[in-house]
Amino acid sequence: MDTIATAQIEGAQHRATYKNTDFDIDQPDTPAAVAATQIHTAHQLKVVGNTVTGHGGYSTAKATHGVSSGKWCYEATVDGCIGHCRLGWGQILAEKQAPIGYDEYGYCYSDTGKFFHCSLSLSNSETFGLGDVIGCVICIEDGETRPETQTDPSRTYPPLRKGVYNVEQKISPGSFIEFYKNGVCVGRPFTDIYHGRYYPSVSLFGGASITLNFGPVFFCDTPPGCSPLCSV
């Protein structure tokens, strides 16, 4: 039985506590791309190169490479909007058969203009649609982590949902996620995020279609200090 399957059983029965790093997998030697493997990507999504097309209800695809420290970015272009899409960053444990931001393992920006984490929307920003280019930035501080408290004043978004893996998450002070629409910042909705390895993640509903760009050449200017995901 693999580690994730074991964790599902033990976590559900509260017999074991895992660290999120227990589930990280080795980074491949190939360039960063949208992953076609089922550990990263829901089986019903169509992946051709770095273009992902949805089918049916919300499901999620992740990139082959993730980051756990530093400041990183990627772009996503909306190719088709017959449906809905969400873009962001997720750990390997983020649920594939749900939108990114459904659980505590992911954070996203929705085409409706809302930001999601733990299935709740944080605030409203600009909507996006066909032809728009969305920049997704993550900054993970390479310092000490700390446990979360019930009334942590520095938490923008306290978790309300716990996954079946019984994973102990810790806060990475100073870390954040922010989003850009056509080169203009639309918000930094998530600060002091959980520490872990995060993968570019896209979730699609219906027939929506998105193309991810991991660099090094982007359509829009990148924020200062950002490295393209292709350099992982």
DSSP-assigned letter for residue 26: P
CB atoms within 10 A of CB 202: 32
In the predicted model, is pLDDT for residue 20 greater than 90? Answer: no
pLDDT at 9 over 50: no
Among 45-59, 86-100, 117-131, 209-223, the least confident range: 117-131
Task: Answer with the residue of higher pLDDT: 40 or 165.
Answer: 40
pLDDT at 166 over 90: no
User: Which one is predicted more confidently, 40 or 164?
Assistant: 40
CA distance 171 to 14: 22
Of 7-21, 29-43, 85-99, the range with the lowest mean pLDDT is 7-21
Q: Are 119 and 86 in contact (CB under 8 A)?
A: no
Give 127's contacts (C-beta < 8 A, 6+ positions apart): 111, 112, 113
Task: Please report the pLDDT score of residue 147 as a whole number.
Answer: 79
Token couple for 170: 């810790």
pLDDT for residue 222: 87
CA separation for the pair 23, 79 (Å, rounded): 32
Contacts of residue 89, Cβ cutoff 8 Å, sequence gap at least 6:
100, 106, 107, 108, 136, 138, 177, 198, 199, 200, 201
What is the distance between the alpha carbons of residues 61 and 108, in angstroms, rounded to a whole number?
13
For residues 71-76, give the mean pLDDT. Answer: 98
Report whether 117 contacts 144 (CB < 8 A): no
| Mean pLDDT score of the chain | 85
Domains in the chain, please, with CATH? Answer: 3-146+153-231 (2.60.120.920)
